[in-house]
Structure 1
């Protein structure tokens, strides 16, 4: 009985988390948004570079097939290959 009275009478100074409690969830949310944005940006960049390179390789393969089939001569093959590589590096 005495401990219950002592507990009820003593102030425990706990009034809840306070007005600043939303700061931590907001900071976590900002961290996650920054993380996804960063990975998304670099992932799309790498994906676009991969597609550009695959397109260049496909063009070179088609050009090589035309050269092998005898549709174009060596000078035209070299000229077009140089053009493809110059456009791919730009």
Structure 2
């Protein structure tokens, strides 16, 4: 009888340990997605790959800095 109780306690402890290990493997909440690269990063990557030359890179970088992040160019109706 005492062997049965020891075995039951051992199985319970093992089950709890395995449950805790499996819970730690999965993050809580929705999956995290990497942040999108900034416009400056995309521009630098295009320059590094040779898609644009240095003159084009400098011109676009100057335009990005002049307009600030997320502002873009004014549209046709903007004053």
Q: TM-score range, shorter-chain basis?
A: 0.3 to 0.5
**Greater Rg over alpha carbons, structure:** 1
Report which of the two has the higher share of helix.
1
Greater RCO between the two (CA within 8 Å, min separation 6)? 1
